């Protein structure tokens, strides 16, 4: 593990933060380039990306803190320490989606089309951010004796499923699928729903290899939320839009 990527004097630069920043920059550049084809102004697109990212980080942190509230009640100042991780993707996705819908409505942007522009870059950004998780030693897997098992927890040499790398690979695969699917959808917003569906299926499967607590029966919280999200996306794609053309 290499949570601190480098130091500038006494200032430590964390790998997790760096890879989040890289994901944001790549996604924003991609949105700007594709947004031009829809006639979206560059300034408006950049503002959308920045403010939606801020909303996503706030939502991701709030959910992460709520899920471990006893720890943060004992150390309330730790709530603001984001340098080395501590974000829930589900919380970030929900908050970012809500804010993005409001922003696009407020600025009269085509909501479904913008959501479809976001979807592939969200998947690619997720893949990049998970590399930061691997270097940081968070979101780690269960102990394993498989040939590719790695020590994936900071300060722990136990060989485990490198679930962070599984996640990075899954994010890249979802990005490729969505990129290929860009011109094959039947209504605006479908590509984003396909991201939610694919992410839900992948995350449900991944949780069997992650070191995490059970929440409902044999399911973790991540599995429960992912199943609900995947089911809702499936219904929205294949049931709700019946009879509706693009």
Assess contact for 132 and 19: CB atoms under 8 A. Answer: yes
pLDDT band at residue 162 under the 50/70/90 scheme: very high
Greater confidence (35 vs 82) lies with: 35
Residue 213 located in a structural domain: no
86: nearest Cα among 51, 105, 62, 102: 62
Q: Give me the domain span that covers residue 158.
A: 14-185
Residue 192 located in a structural domain: no
Whether residue 185 has pLDDT greater than 90: yes
Residue 151 located in a structural domain: yes
How many domains is the chain partitioned into structurally? 1
Assess contact for 119 and 178: CB atoms under 8 A. Answer: yes
Range in 2-6, 11-15, 241-245 the model is least confident about? 241-245
- The confidence score (pLDDT) of residue 12 equals 85
Whether residue 243 has pLDDT greater than 70: no
Residue 195 located in a structural domain: no
Summary mean pLDDT of the chain:
89
With both helix axes pointing from N to C terminus, report the angle between 42-67 and 15-35 in degrees, rounded to the nearest 10: 140
83: nearest Cα among 52, 61, 67, 62: 61
- The confidence score (pLDDT) of residue 83 equals 62
Residue 66 located in a structural domain: yes
The DSSP symbol for 11 reads E
């Amino acid at each position: 593990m290499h949570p601190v990527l480098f130091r500038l004097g006494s200032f430590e630069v964390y790998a997790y933060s760096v890879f989040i920043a890289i994901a944001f920059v790549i996604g924003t550049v991609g949105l700007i380039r594709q947004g031009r084809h829809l006639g979206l102004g560059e300034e408006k697109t950049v503002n959308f990306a920045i403010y939606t990212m801020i909303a996503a980080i706030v939502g991701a942190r709030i959910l992460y803190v709520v899920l471990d509230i006893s720890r943060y009640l004992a150390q309330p100042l730790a709530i603001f320490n984001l340098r080395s991780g501590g974000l829930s993707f589900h919380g970030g996705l929900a908050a970012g989606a809500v804010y993005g819908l409001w922003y696009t409505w407020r600025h009269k942007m085509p909501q479904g089309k913008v959501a479809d522009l976001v979807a592939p870059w969200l998947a690619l950004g997720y893949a990049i951010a998970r590399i930061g998780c691997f270097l940081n030693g968070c979101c780690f897997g269960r102990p394993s004796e498989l040939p590719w098992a790695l020590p994936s927890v900071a300060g722990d040499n136990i060989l485990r499923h490198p679930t962070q790398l599984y996640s990075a690979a899954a994010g890249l695969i979802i990005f490729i699928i969505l990129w290929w699917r860009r011109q094959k959808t039947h209504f605006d917003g479908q590509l984003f729903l396909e991201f939610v569906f694919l992410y839900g299926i992948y995350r449900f499967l991944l949780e069997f290899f992650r070191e995490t607590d059970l929440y409902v029966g044999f399911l973790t919280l991540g599995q429960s939320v992912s199943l609900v999200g995947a089911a809702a996306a499936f219904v929205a794609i294949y049931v709700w839009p019946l009879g509706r053309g693009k």
